[in-house]
Amino acid sequence: MICQIDGGVCAAKGFTAAGVHCGIRKNKAKRDLALIVSEVPASAAAVYTANLVKGAPIAVTKAHLQNGRAQAVICNSGNANTCNADGVEVAEAMCDLTAKALGIPADDVVVASTGVIGQPLDIAPIAAGIAPLKAALSREGSRAAAEGIMTTDTALKEIAVEFTVGGIACRIGGIAKGSGMIHPNLATMLVFITTDAAIAPAMLEKALKTDVANTFNMVSVDGDTSTNDMVTVLANGLAGNAEITEEGADFAAFMEALNTVTVYLCRAIAGDGEGATKLLECTVTGAADEATAKVVAKSVICSSLLKAAMFGADANWGRVLCAIGYSGAAVDVTKIDVTFTSAAGEIAVCAMGAGIDFSEEKAKEILSEKEIGIRIELHSGGAAAVAWGCDLTYDYVRINGDYRT
């Protein structure tokens, strides 16, 4: 049984967190530096952006996690520390400062940055901010840390759940920032997950990579892959379960809890995409294989035309079929059924690849809700996939078309 609880990244035993304003951002009301610390060294794993242009913090974190261990996460917003000549040096300095303050090795620190790219990141405000940040560390610090990593996210993203591994109660929680932009820049997805479950680094990495393929890799706000995306998980083992070292019931229990956290955060990120007014969840069933289901779901969720139609609460199912058709997946278009769903009900709009009579009034009612489901049945097998996205709105254009200068 998985139960939602409070506490975010501090829900698990032995984790504290904090977020402060150190001065990277001009607005003093906005926290711009966050810290998450485990009492003891933790198993650690991460996945990173596939973009060839990578932020300097990615390179440093990758090096630090080679040994599968970490004890702290330091993250700033306001500057992505990407495409800067001294980027790696600055990211390492962030780790050194954090390590020194906490009395831990620098290579046990995970570092991340989000914000404008191509502008040097001044280490001075961070150096000055580390002491107050450490002083602010607390078991109630998750929200402050979540605020510290936000850019133009309109909602704080935090979740925690309790689950059991071998009869022992464990907790896992996470914070995330999504596709908000600072003035200006790249949308970046950062996710930090903490758990007190005991799990070997190799199994933690396996769990994260397996899960991400079905969760964060199935989220799209605008099809642009950021240079700084990172999802990390720290597992400090303080729950006291027998360490998970192989697949089996314990690993499955852990995977299920992890998935609860990540799906929640995926939905939160997609629903709070830049300018979004609606969360879109596309569920593909009846696919010949999982790869096909994923390709179809992502193609639909990425279609600018469909996204704009959803903004307009327009049951334009032709755009769903169109996006399936150009997805690259080998599907039989004459077998496709499409149904729109929401809290207001559901309505079938296309059967066997052709339009069917439906009430435009009812469709509009359904599509006027905040969370829209797009269900696609391919009638070609047993595989399924889910992808998350959001509508395309005037505000997306406003946010991203604003002058930087």
State the DSSP string of 206-270. HHHHHHHHHTGGGB-SSSPPPSS-EEEEEE--TT-PPPB-SSSHHHHHHHHHHHHHHHHHHHHHH
Q: Does 402 bind its own copies (CB under 8 A)?
A: yes
Identify the active-site residue in 49, 98, 188, 260: 188
- In this structure, the strands spanning 168-177 and 345-351 are unpaired
Calculated CA dihedral for residues 307, 312, 315, 320, nearest 10 degrees: -10
Selected range binding its own copies among 8-16, 71-79, 134-142, 182-190, rule: CB under 8 A: 182-190
Residue 116 or 137: which CB sits closer to its own copies? Answer: 116
3-state secondary structure 325-382: HCCCCCCCHHHCEEEEEECCEEEEEEECCEECCCCHHHHHHHHCCCEEEEEEECCCCC
State which of residues 59, 83, 88, 348 lies at the interface with its own copies (CB under 8 A): 83
Question: What is the nearest approach in angstroms of its own copies to the Cβ of residue 364?
Answer: 7
| Secondary structure class of 165 (helix, strand, coil) | strand
Q: Pick between residue 172 and residue 331 the one whose CB is nearest to its own copies.
A: 331
Minimal distance, residue 178 CB to its own copies, in Å: 14
| Closest listed residue to residue 308, CA positions, set 299, 318, 316, 297 | 316
Q: Minimum distance from CB of 158 to its own copies (Å)?
A: 26
User: What separation in angstroms does the CA of 125 have from each of 17, 114, 175, 337?
Assistant: 19, 16, 24, 56
Residue (18 or 350) nearer to its own copies, CB: 350
Stretch of 67-75, 153-161, 222-230, 258-266 lying at the interface with its own copies (CB under 8 A): 222-230
Q: How far is the CB of 36 from its own copies (least distance, A)?
A: 27
Number of shown-chain residues binding its own copies (CB under 8 A): 68
Q: What's the distance, CA 93 to chain centroid? A: 26
Cβ neighbour number for residue 213 with a 10 Å cutoff: 13
When asked if residue 187 is in the footprint of its own copies (CB under 8 A), the reply is yes
Catalytic site includes residue 245: no
Residue of 27, 20, 37, 18 whose CA lies nearest to 128: 20
- Binding to its own copies by CB under 8 A, coded x per residue (else -) over 231-270, reads ----------------------------------------
Closer of 104 and 367 to its own copies (Cβ): 367
Tokens of 166: 């071998």
Establish if 321 lies at the interface with its own copies (CB under 8 A). Answer: yes
What are the residues binding its own copies (CB under 8 A)?
A: 49-54, 82-85, 116-119, 184-187, 222-227, 302-305, 308-309, 311-319, 321-326, 330-331, 333, 350, 353-355, 360, 364, 391-394, 396-405
